[in-house]
Structure 1
Amino acid sequence: MASNLFRALGLVSAIAIIPAATAAFASAEADSMREFDEFMGVFNRVRADYVEKVDDKTLLRGAIDGMLASLDPHSSYLDQKGYQSLMTSTEGEYGGLGLNVTLEDGVVKIVAPIEDSPGFKAGLKAGDYITHLNGKLIYGGALDEAVDQMRGAPGTTIKITVLRPGREKPFDVTLTRAKIELPAVKWEVKDRVGIINVNTFSRTTTQEALAAIAAIDKSLGGPPTGYIVDLRSNPGGLLDQAVGLSDVFLERGEVVSQRGRAKNDIERYYAEPGDATRGRPIVVLVDSGSASAAEIVAAALQDHHRAIVMGERSFGKGSVQTLLPLSRDTALRLTTARYYTPSGRSVQEGGIVPDIEVPQLSDPDYKSRPRLREADLRRHLINEVKVDESVVQDDGKPDPRFSATPDELKKKGIDDFQLHYAVQTIARLAGPRTATAAAGAAPKGGTR
């Protein structure tokens, strides 16, 4: 009898909630309608009374851009040009300057130059501001418009005006556009250490990484002492390729999870059995330009204790953007989830903290050069777990390992100190394992 009573009470409670929920829903709908009416009032007033005639398309595009800009720095509307630009970048080839840029308070700011691109060769650095293109001020414009002007046919030139923090005056640089071919992966060998330089996460990154490992083995006539996975200045890219690249080096376990708005909206990605490097030592290099997919790989290998992460604290972009097509040639790029490392960490704002902090001593400006990170962007997502900045800040004490000057390093033939230090670290890690590691796990092969 008591159980019947409880069931009855439960039923009554459920029924009693319905009118309240309906009333709340109706109230929310009414509030939304009032806001929409206000928007239409502004829209009609601008159409009728603005000093110059403005077409409806311009006003509506501005409203869409403003709505998405109020969310976070990575959500945006892609018109035909923007959509084509994104597809071109994902495929890994376009004509331009090779600069990854963002918009900060109306100013175009360089996040990182792409290695071997015209911008990279001209000495442009992360943190530089681009104020003029061919003498024309671009302050306050749309980022897509600036990117569209910087891209163009290979062989054509463009003059850009750069404002660099620490310099008193802006300076001009004339660049010749080039065909920016982003082999997703490049490789080389130094002192029997295989160096895998991952520039971007396009559709072929995992396949190219496997090919690089095979090529390194072939060039040495056997496996190397170890591998360096260079993710510096890698702005990220496709999530499935970040999972695939992590899987190349992992034997098992979770790579990353993404979590949406709802508590049960969780998707997990796992490594498949087999380590293509047969357990060889790995160092992962990161810097402030390593973002998104690059951070997924670094964090996965760090959490599974498969690699030593070395360099500088990474960018700190811990969100996932989904491309939602609106028509054949327009789309919505919307932040739909946060991603978490295998240990449950979010890199949002804080980034990946290296196991060994190694400054780029071969860069004369490394101390004064500003580092642009996710936390510097307006309206960035807040990390749900507060970032302990004391862990990632310099304690101010000089490290005797890192006292060499750029000139001293240059005399020794060292033009990339972080890479040099990583090669030395691999040699120390390998030790007696080198001769026996080939008996480890079977490598992964084929395409994925």
Structure 2
Amino acid sequence: MIRKASLLLAGAALGAIVAVTFTQTQFLAGSSANAASADTYRELNLFGDVFERIRADYVETPDENALIESAINGMLAGLDPHSSYLSPKNFKDMQVQTSGKFGGLGIEVTMEDGVIKVVSPIDDTPAARAGILASDLIIALDGELIEGLSLNEAVEKMRGPINTPITLTIKRENVDKPFEVELTREEITIHSVRSREEEDVGYVRISSFNEQTFDGLKEAIDEINEKIGKAKVKGYIIDLRNNPGGLLDQAIAVSDAFLDRGEIVSTRSRHAEETQRYNAHSGDLAAGKPVIILVNGGSASASEIVAGALQDHRRATIIGTRSFGKGSVQTIIPLGANGALRLTTARYFTPSGTSIQAKGIDPDIEVIQELPPELAEAAGIEPRGEASLKGHLEGEDAAAGEEEESGSLAYVPSDPEDDKQLHYALDLLNGLQVNSEFPPDPSRGIPN
């Protein structure tokens, strides 16, 4: 049987699609599961018995569809933090959001221990402008506690007509009392690529991977080359900090933009015949000029694909702190009129064959961005990484004693003058700083 599905890489701890999700349509050969055992069928009969008892005897007439949806969500939540059921509306919303435009607050969230946790605010959105920070906990919406709501239900409440207000009650680590933040909903347009010239260095910020990302990258580099002069450009800085992920095909295209050949990424499931490998094509947008990639604890999934590919091929030097460690692949399986199933079906591997699941990518040069004094005690913006998520998928070599790693700080100063990681990268490209990891030695990369 041939079944149409979508390959998905969820963003950092992405349990809800409030900001960016990413899909790539492809056809997967359906493999029939092993026949269920007699014990399994008995358990299914038990489910039916419980369902009927609830229908018949619960104190109020239950919503049968809601019961079944809750049962499905419970089953999926027991697998890992990234598998879930998408109702027809949420499935439709997800399809719309991959275009890079949606209505809402511009905030990436997940659910942890029954509370909504901020993964990352999106640049230039109501959430970012209001000062919402990574790792903030949203405990109430318009004065109503979130406790008891599913992630999708909470997300639905945060959405609404453009120009309508909503009040979030925020609990922040090391802040004594929860506080309220009033936001106004907007149409969120994700301009995933922004760029500027830093004297003779091109700086490109990629905040997510949506349908416009590769085209935006190409336009940014063309504009930088025109303003500085292609021959005068000393190199490029690609900033992937706090980038929670995006479309797989865009992550591949961005990696391919700087590689002439070789594998970019592979995805491997429990069925060897379903292994997919994605390779680079000839052509380097940077024309061989040095490339530096900035990462931190908020760099996840698609960001880690790009960083891992260019690091393994020794095409770029990675600077910053350890990335989030989101190395699993979700497949979106349409269920007709009943929405869709988001199921973890594979791990992805960097070109060297390394799985970063629950580990992250270690930078070639660690540069720690310290919090300013006014935030050091109050912000609580250090994510714990994939390895700290309850029920996370273990790393590929966990059985062999592979150590899992926690995430790193996900803080980027709003003022570039205070950005230690950026300045270190600029100093390397301008020859004011020397490090044995820059420029990278291509002979140390994996064979092409």
TM-score by length of 1: 0.82
* Aligned equivalent of 1:140: 148
Offset from partner CA, 1:137-168 (integer Å, 9 cap, x none): 01221111211222223322211111111111
Q: Please list every run of 5 or more consecutive structure 1 residues that lacks an aligned counterpart in the other structure.
A: 1-24, 395-405, 432-448
Question: Measured at CA, do residues 322 and 389 of structure 1 come closer, stay the same or move farther in structure 2, by a change above 3 Å?
Answer: closer
More helix by share: 1
Q: Do the aligned residues in 2 keep the contact of 1:353 with 1:392 (CA within 8 Å)?
A: no
Offset from partner CA, 1:224-252 (integer Å, 9 cap, x none): 21111111111112111111110001121
* Aligned equivalent of 1:263: 272
Moved more, 125-134 or 377-386: 377-386
SS of equivalent to 1:284: strand
* Aligned equivalent of 1:419: 422
SS of equivalent to 2:220: helix
- Picking from 179, 182, 190, the partner of 2:187 is 179
Runs of 4+ off more than 6 Å: 390-394
Q: Do the aligned residues in 2 keep the contact of 1:246 with 1:301 (CA within 8 Å)?
A: yes
Q: Do the aligned residues in 1 keep the contact of 2:387 with 2:406 (CA within 8 Å)?
A: no
SS of equivalent to 2:176: coil
Q: Do the aligned residues in 1 keep the contact of 2:169 with 2:181 (CA within 8 Å)?
A: yes
Q: Do the aligned residues in 2 keep the contact of 1:65 with 1:76 (CA within 8 Å)?
A: yes
State how far apart, in whole Å, the 2-side matches of 1:392 and 1:236 are.
Answer: 15
- Picking from 106, 122, 128, the partner of 1:114 is 122
Is residue 363 of structure 2 the alignment partner of residue 351 of structure 1? Answer: no
Offset from partner CA, 1:340-373 (integer Å, 9 cap, x none): 0011111100111111222223654368533131
Q: Please list every run of 5 or more consecutive structure 2 residues that lacks an aligned counterpart in the other structure.
A: 1-33, 435-448
* Aligned equivalent of 1:89: 97
Question: 1:391 Cα deviation (Å)?
Answer: 11
TM-score by length of 2: 0.82
* Aligned equivalent of 1:397: none
Aligned residues: 391
| Partner amino acid, structure 2, of 1:371 | P
Offset from partner CA, 1:94-142 (integer Å, 9 cap, x none): 1221110000011000011111211112221111100011111012211
State how far apart, in whole Å, the 1-side matches of 2:418 and 2:106 are.
Answer: 21
Offset from partner CA, 1:324-352 (integer Å, 9 cap, x none): 11115711111111000011111100111
* Aligned equivalent of 1:440: none
* Aligned equivalent of 2:389: 377
Q: Do the aligned residues in 1 keep the contact of 2:385 with 2:408 (CA within 8 Å)?
A: no
Cα root mean square deviation, aligned:
2.4
| Partner amino acid, structure 2, of 1:129 | L
* Aligned equivalent of 1:318: 327
| Partner amino acid, structure 1, of 2:383 | R
Question: Measured at CA, do residues 333 and 159 of structure 1 come closer, stay the same or move farther in structure 2, by a change above 3 Å?
Answer: same
State how far apart, in whole Å, the 2-side matches of 1:332 and 1:48 are.
Answer: 29
Percent sequence identity over matched residues?
49
| Partner amino acid, structure 2, of 1:324 | I
Offset from partner CA, 1:258-297 (integer Å, 9 cap, x none): 0011234311111101211011111111111111111000
* Aligned equivalent of 1:289: 298
* Aligned equivalent of 1:298: 307
Offset from partner CA, 1:390-447 (integer Å, 9 cap, x none): 89899xxxxxxxxxxx9xx97xx7133322222222222999xxxxxxxxxxxxxxxx
* Aligned equivalent of 1:213: 221
State how far apart, in whole Å, the 2-side matches of 1:233 and 1:157 are.
Answer: 26
State how far apart, in whole Å, the 1-side matches of 2:407 and 2:139 are.
Answer: 31
**Structure with bigger gyration radius:** 1
Moved more, 144-153 or 158-167: 144-153
* Aligned equivalent of 1:71: 79
Q: Do the aligned residues in 1 keep the contact of 2:142 with 2:167 (CA within 8 Å)?
A: yes
State how far apart, in whole Å, the 2-side matches of 1:317 and 1:122 are.
Answer: 27
* Aligned equivalent of 2:26: none
State how far apart, in whole Å, the 1-side matches of 2:123 and 2:174 are.
Answer: 23
Q: Do the aligned residues in 1 keep the contact of 2:395 with 2:404 (CA within 8 Å)?
A: no
Moved more, 172-181 or 340-349: 172-181
Question: Measured at CA, do residues 164 and 40 of structure 1 come closer, stay the same or move farther in structure 2, by a change above 3 Å?
Answer: same
* Aligned equivalent of 2:234: 225
Q: Do the aligned residues in 1 keep the contact of 2:262 with 2:279 (CA within 8 Å)?
A: yes
SS of equivalent to 1:175: strand
| Partner amino acid, structure 1, of 2:255 | S
State how far apart, in whole Å, the 2-side matches of 1:222 and 1:250 are.
Answer: 18
Q: Do the aligned residues in 1 keep the contact of 2:382 with 2:408 (CA within 8 Å)?
A: no
Is residue 141 of structure 2 the alignment partner of residue 129 of structure 1? Answer: no
SS of equivalent to 1:91: coil
- Picking from 148, 152, 158, the partner of 2:160 is 152
State how far apart, in whole Å, the 2-side matches of 1:330 and 1:78 are.
Answer: 6
Q: Do the aligned residues in 2 keep the contact of 1:96 with 1:152 (CA within 8 Å)?
A: yes
Question: Measured at CA, do residues 378 and 33 of structure 1 come closer, stay the same or move farther in structure 2, by a change above 3 Å?
Answer: same
| Partner amino acid, structure 1, of 2:123 | E
Question: Measured at CA, do residues 308 and 391 of structure 1 come closer, stay the same or move farther in structure 2, by a change above 3 Å?
Answer: farther
Q: Do the aligned residues in 2 keep the contact of 1:69 with 1:76 (CA within 8 Å)?
A: yes
Q: Do the aligned residues in 1 keep the contact of 2:319 with 2:425 (CA within 8 Å)?
A: yes
Question: Measured at CA, do residues 420 and 380 of structure 1 come closer, stay the same or move farther in structure 2, by a change above 3 Å?
Answer: same
Question: Measured at CA, do residues 429 and 229 of structure 1 come closer, stay the same or move farther in structure 2, by a change above 3 Å?
Answer: farther
| Partner amino acid, structure 2, of 1:227 | Y
- Picking from 282, 285, 307, the partner of 1:276 is 285
